[in-house]
């Protein structure tokens, strides 16, 4: 091998290591920013907190006004790529603390989910790890003894909070793969649904798109209303219901790249 | 966080001890610290690495299994997907979006349902079938493509070395 090639090769290798270093640094910066925000925050007065946030922004201020005609409070979640799943779980579990009927039908669905996922080819050994933690939390929620504060603490405990997110990701992946014929219409590129799930659904910290929301809400039979707040012309904050036509049990606020929890007036 | 990682690592260790995959032994270096493992991997039959026993170290992050471990061979290695310092570079050790090599979208990535066993089995496949498109060791990738006989000679020498025969 000539010296030139060797040098070129050395450069390629150095380049790769630079890429690794840059990625690590970027991840560290992102982590530092996101760790400054709790996994799930306290309930805040919606108009007070958002009006302050957008005081010098006329478009958003108008939308905050519209939003506060429908919602009283907001609960923020950490922007770590898991915010949709964490916000969904917190809002729904909070509702289940006092809603026995919905709890029962939810419990029936999730207690069967493990076998369904194993049938779809998920490895039993690692799946069980997440299922067991998830069900422990679900049973505690349905015990009738759980106070709001306990739920709040549990969702701010990284271990339990993240395991809940992982299991919801697996349920979402299971639904997408089970009904792949339908959901394939919504994904870009020439890839299989299984490949999509491995890349975009199952790994932690991967952000959610419409398709994740549709699949999770359909799998659990839980209606989700998302309010979209962006720079669009409308003075209203547009609502989308998932699955279409259902009564929402969970209300979320979407601002580009992030989901928080909303509470109706 | 580290609590769930520890519980999971203990369960995986038990599983690997009770049902060890063929040609693989793995476990914590000492039972005081479950976040550092040693693995011994037998070179797959019918390949140039056949007969070798290759030691490697696995280091787990405190948020395992949300994030993958890192793996590094501690013996001399010459392989397209292993850096000169022994670090293993395959897609399953990376979460999507965290892949300096730009793996194909169909390549297996890390997710929390993967396991140490899956990683080690992927490493065995990697020894059998190098991926010379994402070369961590450019010299090895080039030689694998262009001078297979020489590659095999180097592999054989390394195999003998792992057995203490050189």
For chains A and B, count residue pairs whose Cβ atoms are closer than 8 Å. Answer: 80
The answer to whether residue B154 scores a pLDDT higher than 90 is yes
The answer to whether residue B2 scores a pLDDT higher than 80 is no
Choose, from A80, A197, A212, A251, the residue flagged as catalytic.
A80
Mutation site for B-interface testing, chosen from A5, A114, A129 by largest number of B Cβ within 10 Å:
A129
Tell which B residues from 14 to 33 touch A, by Cβ distance under 8 Å: 15
A204, A74 contact by CB (below 8 A):
no
pTM of the shown model: 0.90
C-alpha torsion angle, residues A24, A30, A31, A35 (rounded to 10): 170
A150, A29 contact by CB (below 8 A):
no
Q: How do strand A71-77 and strand A258-264 relate by DSSP bridges? A: antiparallel
- In chain B, what residues touch A203 (CB-CB under 8 Å)? 95-96, 109-112
The answer to whether residue B34 scores a pLDDT higher than 90 is yes
A62, A235 contact by CB (below 8 A):
yes
**What digits encode the pLDDT tens for the residues A91-102?**
999 999 999 999
pLDDT value at residue A1: 42
Can you tell me the mean pLDDT for B1-22?
90
- In chain B, what residues touch A12 (CB-CB under 8 Å)? 138
Mutation site for B-interface testing, chosen from A203, A204, A206, A207 by largest number of B Cβ within 10 Å:
A203
pLDDT value at residue B98: 65
**What digits encode the pLDDT tens for the residues A191-209?**
899 999 999 999 999 999 9
């Amino acid at each position: 091998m000539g010296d030139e090639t060797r040098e070129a090769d050395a450069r390629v290798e150095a380049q790769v290591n630079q890429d690794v270093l840059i990625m690590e640094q970027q991840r560290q910066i992102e982590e530092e920013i996101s760790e400054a925000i709790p996994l799930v925050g306290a309930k805040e007065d919606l108009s007070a907190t958002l009006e302050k946030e957008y005081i010098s922004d006329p478009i958003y201020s108008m939308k905050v006004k519209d939003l506060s005609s429908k919602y009283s409070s907001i609960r923020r979640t950490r922007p770590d790529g898991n915010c949709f799943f964490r916000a969904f779980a917190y809002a729904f579990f909070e509702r289940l603390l006092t809603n026995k009927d919905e709890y029962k039908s939810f419990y029936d669905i999730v207690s069967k989910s493990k076998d369904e996922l194993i049938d779809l080819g998920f490895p039993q050994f690692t799946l069980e790890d997440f299922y067991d933690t998830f069900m422990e939390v679900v049973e505690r929620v349905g015990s009738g003894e759980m106070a709001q504060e306990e739920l709040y603490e549990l969702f701010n405990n990284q271990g339990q909070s993240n395991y809940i997110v992982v299991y919801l990701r697996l349920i979402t992946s299971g639904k997408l793969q089970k009904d792949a014929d339908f959901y394939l219409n919504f994904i870009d590129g020439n890839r299989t649904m299984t490949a999509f799930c491995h890349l975009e659904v199952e790994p932690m910290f991967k952000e959610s798109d419409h398709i994740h929301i549709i699949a999770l809400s359909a799998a659990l039979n839980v209606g989700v209303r998302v309010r979209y707040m962006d720079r669009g012309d409308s003075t209203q904050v547009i609502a989308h219901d998932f699955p279409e036509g259902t009564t929402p049990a969970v209300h979320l606020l979407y601002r580009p790249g992030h989901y928080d929890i909303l509470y109706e007036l | 966080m580290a609590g769930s990682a520890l519980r999971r690592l203990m369960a995986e260790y038990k599983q690997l001890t009770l049902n060890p995959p063929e040609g693989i032994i793995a476990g914590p270096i000492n039972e005081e610290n479950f976040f550092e493992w040693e693995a011994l991997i037998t070179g797959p039959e019918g390949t140039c690495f056949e007969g070798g026993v290759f030691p490697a170290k696995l280091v787990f992050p405190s948020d395992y299994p949300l994030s993958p471990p890192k793996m590094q061979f501690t013996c001399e290695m010459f392989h397209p997907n292993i850096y000169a310092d022994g670090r293993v570079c395959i897609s399953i050790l990376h979460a999507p979006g965290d892949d300096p090599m730009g793996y194909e979208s169909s390549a297996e990535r890390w997710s929390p349902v993967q396991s140490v066993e899956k990683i080690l089995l992927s490493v065995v496949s990697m020894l059998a079938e190098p991926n010379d498109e994402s070369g961590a060791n450019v010299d090895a990738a080039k030689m694998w493509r262009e001078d297979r006989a020489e590659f095999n000679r180097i592999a054989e020498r390394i195999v003998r070395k792992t057995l203490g025969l050189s």
